[in-house]
Amino acid sequence: KAGVTQTPRYLIKTRGQQVTLSCSPISGHRSVSWYQQTPGQGLQFLFEYFSETQRNKGNFPGRFSGRQFSNSRSEMNVSTLELGDSALYLCASTRAGGLYADTQYFGPGTRLTVL
């Protein structure tokens, strides 16, 4: 079974621009979560989508948004980029939908650099 894929792997943007990152979950997985990883803050939860609905949200400004499509693929968008948005953005998928929380499987990440 193919793993979680993320595109693009690397991005360079300038301040004020916006960016869209894409994530394709493992086949059959219905939940997609996004995390931001930086040297200073570590791994922080951004949001989770399940059945095209945002089910959980972390403590990030409204410039960070996401969506999920009917095939479970997800995108996240960051508008008005700031230097501090430079990070590795990780996507994770789970089967979800059951009583118990499932294990999350991560993609390779998208490295975003804001100049």
Partner 1 sequence: GNSVTQMEGPVTLSEEAFLTINCTYTATGYPSLFWYVQYPGEGLQLLLKATKADDKGSNKGFEATYRKETTSFHLEKGSVQVSDSAVYFCALSERLGANSKLTFGKGITLSVRP
Nearest CB to partner 1, comparing residues 14 and 43: 43
Q: Which is nearer to partner 1, 74 or 94 (CB)?
A: 94
Stretch binding partner 1 (CB under 8 A), from 12-20, 30-38, 64-72, 74-82: 30-38
Q: What angle do CA 50, 56, 61 make, to 5 degrees?
A: 125
Indicate the residue among 68 and 104 with the shorter CB distance to partner 1. Answer: 104
Q: Which of 36, 72, 74, 104 binds partner 1 (CB under 8 A)?
A: 104
For residue 77, the minimal CB distance to partner 1 (Å) is 20
Structure tokens at 99: 């009583």
Q: Which two tokens stand for residue 104?
A: 């999350």
Which residue in 79, 11, 89 sits closest to 43, CA to CA? 89
Exposed, middle or buried, 23 (CB in 10 Å: 0-12/13-18/19+)? Answer: buried
Please tell me whether residue 60 binds partner 1 under the rule CB under 8 A.
no
Angstrom CA distances, 57 to 16, 26, 101, 114, stand at 23, 21, 16, 23
- Catalog residues that contact partner 1 under the rule CB under 8 A: 4, 6, 31, 33, 35, 42-43, 45, 48, 50, 55-56, 58, 90, 92, 94, 96-97, 99-109
